Amino acid sequence: WRCGLALFPPCMTAAITNVAINSWTCIPKFIQDALVAALTGPMDAVESMKAAYRERRDLAVECLNKMPGVRCIVPKGAIYVFPNITGTGLTSQEFSDLMLTKAQVSLLPGECFGPNGKGFVRIAFSFSTEDLQRALKAMHEVLEETVMGAHAK
| pLDDT > 90 in the chain, percent | 71
Q: Calculate the alpha carbon distances from 34 to 21, 23, 38, 42, 105 in Å.
A: 21, 18, 6, 13, 35
Confidence at residue 19, expressed as pLDDT on a 0 to 100 scale: 80
Confidence at residue 35, expressed as pLDDT on a 0 to 100 scale: 87
Please return the burial class of 57, using the count of CB atoms within 10 Å of its CB with bins 0-12, 13-18 and 19+.
buried
Q: Calculate the alpha carbon distances from 116 to 21, 44, 45, 78 in Å.
A: 32, 38, 36, 18
Contact 92, 85 (CB under 8 A): yes
For residue range 36-92, list pLDDT tens digits in order. 998 899 999 999 999 999 999 999 999 999 999 999 999 998 899 999 999 999 999
